[in-house]
A and B are shown apart, each in its own frame.
Chain A
Amino acid sequence: MVRYSAQVVIIGGGATGVGILRDLSLRGISSILVEQGDLAHGTSSRFHGLLHSGARYAVKDPVSAAECIRENNILKQIAPECVAATGGWFVQLPGDEVDYAQAWLKGCERTGIPVHEVPLEEALKREPLLAKEALRVFEVPDAAVDGFKLVWENAKSARRCGGRYLTYHRVEAILREGEGVAGVRGENLLTGESFTVEAGMVVNATGAWADRLAASAGASLEVVRDKGILLAFNHRLFQRVINRLRPPGDGDIFVPHETITILGTTSEWVDTPSDNQPSDREVERMMTLGKALLPGIAEKRVIRAFAGVRPLHRSDSEWAEGSEGGRVEEGRGRAVSRTFALIDHEAEEGIKGFLSIVGGKFTTYRLMAEKASDWVAAKLANDVPCRTAAEPLQPELPAHLRRRARALLPCAAAEKTLQRLGRDAAAVLETIARDPDKGQLLCECEMVTVAEVEKTVADEDAHHLADVRRKTRLGMGTCQGAFCTYRALPLMWREGEKYDPLSGELIRFLNQRWKGIRPVLWGDQLRETELTRAIYAGLLDLREGGAAG
């Protein structure tokens, strides 16, 4: 049994949880975050990556819209390295309600979302793949956000001021003492050991899992699990976020991220948070829907399909409001408000020191964290004000580091490395300076050097090949890991204690990549699949369920 103690324990290492960890740590409140997987293991890495301007909600949900535009501006300031300020367009197509455009313009004005119309001719010139039938195009300050990176930057920033986090630790029960809580108990999933965190306050930020966790303390909470699927395309098809100007529906947003584009999404209630596998039918439907904005969609290469589960909070009043209207059957989730809920279980069930926070959006994670932290601080009589709206997430990169990277690596690889690693790039660059071999690109698609993978593999936060993949983006490029998975082997090997690359781990890694490719098996993706199977099952003779041989 391993014991930890702190003033506050936060459960859940998604955007909301790490946001709270950072906020509390900046206020000098000692906190530990506990996450059952790697950070961003839940919805915060299975989402669209749209930093909403709020325009999508301008008509139906002005409160959400106002929160979004505020947070959108803040995040562009405090986390420029995680946000690509691409801007976004709302495009009206033939058949889209004309009245909606009017209501939408008014809604944006009311909530303070800047909008300006883009002349059609110019729009089609700037986005040549966009449907030529477009009727009107409006620009708003939507942006693309790197969720995985933002989550990690929050955690690192928290760590710099004393915050701690435990990954691969699952909370099994909330400890009670009298009328209040006394911490949590659970299992270290890597070692099988049990652990406790003693803390007078517990914050439940487990998103789509939140009701289950609350129930373990005898508290109740209603969470709607709203699944959405996403398709990732091989190219940057659009230079900015493209939305459809109509009441929010399925398959009507494209978000460009670096060299890929993500199309989404859908809305369907599911029973469990682990229901995150897109079905063939959903993929087909997404391709059909996406065609309206991108007529050439069938020829574009889809590199993977994935799904996430939105944690929405359902309070009775919101539900009543949501159940009107025609979209209830098809996309019930969308009628539930997306603003978040703080549930003080003392007020609800008389359990002291226990707070749940659910709902919201990735875009508003900081605001959610601020509200949760205000609540905690008030209980602890801590009056240090919240600083997360002004304090940059990452200390600025020193100019000499950029120069050093450019001197040692090809330009594009230097930029990518700095983007991924920030200041941590310094150690990687020194390794390359000492041993030029280590500057070789292990992953040619994502431009990851041997030195970087080595560093990540050795990192105490990396426990599986999949953690290394998420941190370095190894195997996420167009070759889908056919070559770099093999090339990463010796690096894993050196950390022989942690990984067993030749048997289970390698096959597990291939299967994880496969999950996303399986539903989009056509075109070049299918060619790549044949090649990858030829290499791993043919040449290397790896077999399902066992080592080589």
Chain B
Amino acid sequence: MWDGLVIGGGLAGLIAGIRALERGKKILIVSEGVGSLAFAGGVLDFGRVRELRRLEKHPYAYVGEMAERAFSYFLQLNPAYTGTWGRRGSVLTPLGTLRETELLPRRLDASPLFKANKIVVAVPGGLKDFFPEIVKANLQKEFPSGNVRLKKLSVEEFADWRAAGKSIPGTVYAEFWGTERGNTALKRHICEIAGEADSEAIVFPGLPAIGCPEVDEVLAGISLPVVGMTSFPPSAIGLALYESLTRRVKALGGELLIGVGVERVEVESARARRAIVRSKGKETALTAETFVLATGGFLGRGLVATPDDVRETVFGLPLHVPPLRGGKDFLGEQPYARAGIEVDRHLRPCDPATGEVLLENVFAAGRILAHWDPWLEHCGGGVSLSSGLLAGELL
């Protein structure tokens, strides 16, 4: 018997679990997969919170002040991050263009580049999905007054990969820089660049930007700013964030069941009672006082669409479903993105038709909520964090 059972261990579910654990609750997190952080670049966008709060039924309208609290909460949880409420920082996209965001790993902060006249881009040999020429051209466009050059680093360790015509995933490079040999190589390469006359800042893709003290130590010893980059999926930084959150759960005494899906939850008189999971062909019932539903949207499989219907996969809750067929511009307004669960101020699922609270002891958080679009409103991380934190307070 748990105080709280969190279904879905993505950003929203993990934050809910961590907060509830801090409050002394006994918590179990059950998650089918590792969530979408592994794809994400590791920065957390909040978007225009004040404007979005005014939109009827937008998740920010429910979480209220919790957005700002979530912002500082995350900074305190994760000292590798930086950010100032109400202000935007800049990071580099995998293509070397600048983009704004609110919470970012310090290592990704691109602001030193604005002051540098000579920018060197380190090019680790064979790094997958990294295009030096494009990055160089984009940096040159973003910083017209600076001079940008590329510096190839050949890394012995990967000579065999290269000979076989294979490229090296960013996750593999990131891990390598943290090993003893990698660390030595990194130091040598960085010192060499720093020693060259025409370097004022170094852009370095594929660095483990968080959760790797060995690398931080090397970089601390360098007099030039070293700026990391967000990367194309799968992302070492996103994974590192995921790992640091799960470590936190365990350190607080929480339990995690990864790779296990909740098939359904038994409900009696508007209260969820027991979650049924199936593992190795056997059904097990997990009983808890309260539940968090953080199964993600269509990507996380919290929602599934058929040609004529959208289903919430755990409770079969009624949903807000806009006409699914898409808008004209792919990156423009897409109604599907706003499908999801409608909730009351305590994040409890409501019937979209009547507004009636359907489950007294279930709190929904993250991408599964209705009435928002992370990609248009640039608030994916912000909404998941704030609603996750609120759920963690309510558990």
Binding site for B on A (CB under 8 A): 280, 284, 287, 298, 435-440, 486-487, 489-490, 493-494, 502, 507, 510-511, 513-514, 517-519, 521-523, 526-527, 529-545, 547-549
Contact = CB atoms under 8 A, between A and B. Distances in A.
A540 B95 contact: yes
Interface string B150-184: 00000000000011111100000000000000000
B134 A489 contact: yes
Given A511-B330, A526-B298, A535-B233, A486 B129 contact: yes
Contacts of A518: 325-326
A437 B165 contact: yes
Contacts of B204: none
Given A522-B307, A533-B331, A548-B97, A527 B299 contact: yes
Rank and list the top 5 A-B pairs by shortest CB-CB distance, nearest first: A436-B165, A537-B375, A548-B97, A541-B99, A514-B330
Contacts of A486: 129, 232
Contacts of B138: 502, 548
B306 interface: yes
B19 to A, nearest CB: 25
A534 B374 contact: yes
Given A440-B165, A518-B325, A521-B326, A531 B332 contact: no
A511 B40 CA distance: 23
Interface in B297-336: 297-299, 301, 304-308, 324-326, 329-332, 334, 336
Nearest to B131: A490
B73 interface: no
Nearest to B327: A518
B94 interface: yes
Contacts of B97: 502, 540-541, 547-549
Given A533-B331, A534-B374, A514 B326 contact: yes
Interface of B: 36, 39-41, 45, 93-95, 97-99, 129, 131, 133-134, 137-138, 162-167, 230, 232-233, 297-299, 301, 304-308, 324-326, 329-332, 334, 336-337, 374-376, 378, 380
Contacts of B329: 511, 514, 544-545
Given A440-B167, A493-B134, A298 B305 contact: no
A518 B304 CA distance: 17
A502 B142 CA distance: 13
A435 B163 CA distance: 9
Nearest to A509: B330
A545 B328 CA distance: 12
B372 to A, nearest CB: 13
B164 A436 contact: yes
Contacts of B301: 527
Nearest to A450: B165
B171 to A, nearest CB: 15
Contact of B95 (A298, A532, A548): A548
Given A534-B39, A539-B94, A521 B325 contact: yes
B166 A440 contact: yes
Nearest to A531: B299
B188 to A, nearest CB: 25
A507 B330 CA distance: 8
B230 A527 contact: no
Contacts of B305: 521-523, 526
Nearest to B97: A548
Contacts of A440: 165-167
Given A521-B305, A531-B39, 14 more contacts: A287-B307, A436-B164, A487-B129, A493-B134, A532-B330, A534-B374, A538-B374, A538-B375, A539-B230, A540-B94, A540-B95, A540-B97, A548-B95, A549-B99
A189 B167 CA distance: 39
Which of B98, B162, B299 has the most chain A CB within a 10 Å cutoff?
B299
A527 B99 CA distance: 25
A295 B332 CA distance: 35
Contact of B93 (A489, A527, A540, A543): A540
A542 B163 CA distance: 35
Contacts of B334: 529, 533
Nearest to A538: B375
A490 B133 contact: yes
B54 to A, nearest CB: 22
A506 to B, nearest CB: 10
Contact of A533 (B162, B233, B337, B378): B337
A513 B331 CA distance: 12
Given A518-B325, A522-B307, A489 B337 contact: no
B179 to A, nearest CB: 25
Contacts of A521: 305, 324-326, 336
A549 B98 contact: yes
Contacts of A549: 97-99
A534 B162 CA distance: 30
B335 to A, nearest CB: 9
Nearest to B299: A530
Nearest to B142: A549
Nearest to A539: B41
A489 B129 CA distance: 10
